[in-house]
Amino acid sequence: MKGGYTFMKHTPTLILSGLLLCGCCTQKQASQPALAIDRVLSGTDTAWDHGIYVLHVTKRQGDALEGVQIISKTSDGVETIISADSGTIAPGPSCLDSVKDDGSVAITLNNPQVQTGSTRTSETIIMQVLHRG
């Protein structure tokens, strides 16, 4: 029964290790805001859609945004930067018209400039939906 004794000897260490690991995971999940809209803060860059998009907001006051940039890069390395002096943020839409998706945001940009590679265009308004992840 030498093997059984070795297992019993290490059981408390295994249990303690498992509890510590669970505690670390719980703290990491708790640090993520419950709503995607709460991730958008003044002076921060946040990644969206598994890193496809990066959103930078210079100033946020309620639903109003200032100094907004949405940066994306295609798989072939072409970068697109959408920038606007002002815009708004709202919870993202879901498949159902009357329900909002807490895991996404809808960014509406006023008079944005779009630069893809060396091409630059001006738009009247752009709405971009970004998903947490």
Per-residue model confidence (pLDDT) at position 33: 61
Tell me, yes or no, whether 14 and 67 share the same domain: no
Per-residue model confidence (pLDDT) at position 32: 55
Average pLDDT (35-42) is: 95
Q: What are the tens digits of pLDDT across the range 39-90?
A: 999 999 999 999 999 999 999 999 999 999 999 988 888 999 999 999 999 9
Tell me, yes or no, whether 75 and 90 share the same domain: yes
Helix (H, G, I), strand (E, B) or coil at 32: coil
Tell me, yes or no, whether 97 and 80 share the same domain: yes
Identify the domain containing residue 67 by its residue range. 36-131
Tell me, yes or no, whether 119 and 63 share the same domain: yes
Tell me, yes or no, whether 24 and 47 share the same domain: no
Tell me, yes or no, whether 102 and 124 share the same domain: yes
Please give the full DSSP string across 44-96, using - where no structure is assigned: EEEEETTTTEEEEEEEEETTEEEEEEEEEE-TTS-EEEEEEEEEEEEEEE-SS
CA nearest to 111, candidates 66, 44, 47:
66
68 vs 14, residue with greater confidence: 68
Domain count, the chain: 2
C-beta of residue 24 within 8 angstroms of C-beta of residue 17: no
